[in-house]
Amino acid sequence: MVKVKSLKALRYNPHRVDIEKVMAPPYDIISGEERKKLYITSVCNIVRIDYGEEELGDSKINNKYTRARKLLEKWIEEGIFIQESMPCFYYYTQEYTFRGSIKKLSGFIGLLKIEEFGENVFPHEETLSQPKKDRLELMRHTRSNISPIYTVYQDGERRIERLAEKEDGRPLYEFYEDFSGVRIKHTLWKLCSEEALRKISDVMIDKKIFIADGHHRYETALAYRMERKREGDVGETPYDYVLTFFANMKQEGITIIPAHRLLKSMVREDFIERASEYFEIEEVTNKEGLIRKIDSSKSKVIGFFSGDRAYLLKLRNSSIMDELIKDKPKVWKNLNVVVLHSLIIEKILGIDKKKAEKFVSYEIDIDKTFKAVNAGKAKAAFFLKPLALEEIRDVAFAGGKMPGKATYFFPKLLTGLMLYKMD
């Protein structure tokens, strides 16, 4: 069973800071230039703790992690951060317009009891070792969760949403953010009544959940818990829980954007000829037509663009993937992103997983993807259709893991809404 509980959140004091200026996107989508802008935006921006800059002369005793710890302690002491006096859940919404449709992502934030994957909590993506090292070092120093992981559950009755909608009270925070050209309204409420605390825990107890965003942070929390247990902590401790956002998949507010692939080199001249053995191939006259055909296709198709040529690729038969991959669930093998990585990138182009880290990059913006190829920054690009939320759920619950960057959940949860201080 999934165990969730409320928390006494550590959060920014709205009387001391301008809330919208101290928030930041998740650390793993912040570029170096964007981090500098966030530093300038506010001396109290959360990025200074969550994703601090390295400095000349950094050492084991003075580095971005030690500075994060000192800064967190300083802001608590100065009242920049305040600790809630009573445990609460928090209801969080993001209202936005995406490609002409008005949407609202909603969910609640609380604590999730950590457990190994495979029974109640499921991943859907592979992880990399370096980000986990970074997050673990930050957790060791701050003894805190700086941002929530993003999970998805299913409740057709939408009981938690209906509960939150009838709760009284003004929001804690309400502000706007411009992210990737999209205007987003963020609103956060407390859910502290006895009924809310009891009902939310009861609704979630029989649920299975999968991680949408935050795989590295969840695995980091698992590793940190093991460290603390080895140090002698017994029984249930604060380290047994991780700060988590829970979104009901029975809503229209979850948008999934495909991450298109850019190949920096190693595109074979005979690629189309070799690919025709496995795919039905249609040449497309221009890039606009390619995207239109991908969007309108009811089949699972992959777009290929190399600057002067554009093609639509459709797998001839799903048995091709059955022959190529023997030990994975069928729902996993049928995913476009798996066809792209396993059949096209690895088999046809001969780029193994290790080389892919060097030669394959990712871009969610369609125009930027085309421009990268036209400017010579990439040799070619592959375009994907967005995955359905149900596909991701089915793969996760079947024990499959997609290649990294298979999904881009939008909008992103802000870092800085609250922290979970474990000590």
Least confident segment among 145-149, 227-231, 400-404? 400-404
Q: Are strands 380-384 and 301-305 parallel, antiparallel or unpaired?
A: antiparallel
Q: Do 179 and 107 fall within a single domain?
A: yes
Is residue 188 one of the residues assigned to a domain?
yes
Q: How far is CA 82 from CA 104, 146, 148, 173, 312, in A?
A: 28, 14, 18, 14, 54
Q: Can you tell me the distance from the alpha carbon of 286 to that of 275, in angstroms, rounded to the nearest whole number?
A: 20
Instruction: List, for residues 337-349, the tens digit of each pLDDT value.
Output: 999 999 999 999 9
Per-residue model confidence (pLDDT) at position 381: 95
The residue segments making up the domain with residue 286 are 259-385
Q: Do 207 and 342 fall within a single domain?
A: no
CB-based contacts of 367, cutoff 8 Å, min separation 6:
none
Q: Do 159 and 303 fall within a single domain?
A: no
Q: Do 97 and 212 fall within a single domain?
A: yes
pTM value surpassing 0.85 = yes
Instruction: List, for residues 28-86, the tens digit of each pLDDT value.
Output: 999 999 999 999 999 999 999 999 999 999 999 999 999 999 999 999 999 999 999 99
Q: Are strands 144-145 and 420-421 parallel, antiparallel or unpaired?
A: antiparallel
CATH number for the domain harbouring residue 370 = 3.30.1760
Q: Can you tell me the distance from the alpha carbon of 88 to that of 332, in angstroms, rounded to the nearest whole number?
A: 38
Is residue 206 one of the residues assigned to a domain?
yes
Q: How far is CA 372 from CA 305, 307, 365, 416, in A?
A: 11, 9, 11, 33
Locate all alpha helices (DSSP H) within 109-237, ordered by sequence. Answer: 129-142, 159-166, 194-204, 215-230
Q: Do 128 and 225 fall within a single domain?
A: yes
Which has more confidence, 3 or 127? Answer: 3
State the number of CA atoms in the 13 A half-sphere of 307 facing the CB: 13
Place of tokens 């449709």: 101
In terms of residues, how long is the chain?
423
Q: What is the DSSP string of 352-403?
A: -HHHHHHHEEEE--HHHHHHHHHTTS-SEEEEEPPPPHHHHHHHHHTT--BP
Q: Mean pLDDT across the chain, nearest whole number?
A: 93
Is residue 227 one of the residues assigned to a domain?
yes
Q: Do 172 and 38 fall within a single domain?
A: yes
Is residue 125 one of the residues assigned to a domain?
yes
Q: Do 217 and 265 fall within a single domain?
A: no
Q: Which two tokens stand for residue 77?
A: 């002491």
pLDDT-based confidence at residue 168 (cuts at 50, 70, 90):
low
In this prediction, residues 185-210 reach a mean pLDDT of: 96
- pLDDT at residue 386 above 70? yes
Is residue 216 one of the residues assigned to a domain?
yes
Which is it for the CA torsion 369, 371, 374, 378, positive or negative?
negative
Q: Do 322 and 234 fall within a single domain?
A: no
Q: Do 213 and 275 fall within a single domain?
A: no
Is residue 208 one of the residues assigned to a domain?
yes
How many domains does the chain fold into?
A: 2
Is residue 396 one of the residues assigned to a domain?
no
b/e for 23-35, b at 16 or more Cβ within 10 A? bbbbbeebeeeeb
Q: Do 37 and 184 fall within a single domain?
A: yes
Is residue 101 one of the residues assigned to a domain?
yes
DSSP at 60: S
Q: Do 284 and 331 fall within a single domain?
A: yes
Q: Do 57 and 203 fall within a single domain?
A: yes
Instruction: Identify residue 172 by its one-letter amino acid code.
Output: L
